[in-house]
Amino acid sequence: MNLYLSFLLVSLGSVLATRAPGQQASRPKQIEGTYVLDTTGLAPLPFFRPGLIPREGTTLRSAGFTLQPGSRFLGEIVAVYTDSGSAEVHITGVGTWEVHGDSLVLNCRWSHSLWKTTWDIRSAGLVTAAGITMQKLWHLDATLFHRDGPLHFLRSP
């Protein structure tokens, strides 16, 4: 339990640091729904990270998740890896979610057809009226694409 609380405090501290001083988060009454990644450190999608060789690299095409009733979480990240050819990969996540005030905690396992399923990975976020802000989802964060700042997920209509 102490490890969980330590993780929650550290993760929420990094998310809350993205809030302007004196700003209050205003979370919607209904948090269940689908959220799609809008920006990575203020860069819109799709976002290309170049490799060492020209025209090679990784394109983050999309990322999103659904918070379902009963605290069920479903997520998907779609990326295209390009070297001598291109390959689109879908990384899927299944797990649970909890909300405490304006704080969201995800606990899920991610898998991909080429890699084995991960152990449970926790992610934390700040719920606002506009969506959800997170520092990291799975191994996806803005620094992966040479950006600073959080991941911004907007609620999908």
**pLDDT for the residue 13:** 46
**pLDDT for the residue 114:** 63
Rounded to whole angstroms, the Cα distance separating 108 from 113 reads 17
CA atoms within 13 A on the CB side of 28: 10
Question: pLDDT per residue over 6-51, tens digit each?
Answer: 333 334 444 444 444 344 455 567 899 999 999 877 678 888 888 8
Which tokens is 2 given?
């102490």
Quick check: 68 and 32 in contact, CB under 8 A? Answer: yes
Q: Which stretch of DSSP H or E encloses residue 144? A: none
Task: Give the amino acid at 104.
Answer: L
Task: Give the amino acid at 143.
Answer: T
**Nearest Cα residue to 127 out of 18, 47, 39:** 18
Question: pLDDT per residue over 86-141, tens digit each?
Answer: 999 899 999 999 999 999 999 999 887 666 677 788 999 999 988 999 999 888 88
pLDDT band at 62 (very low <50, low <70, confident <90, very high): very high
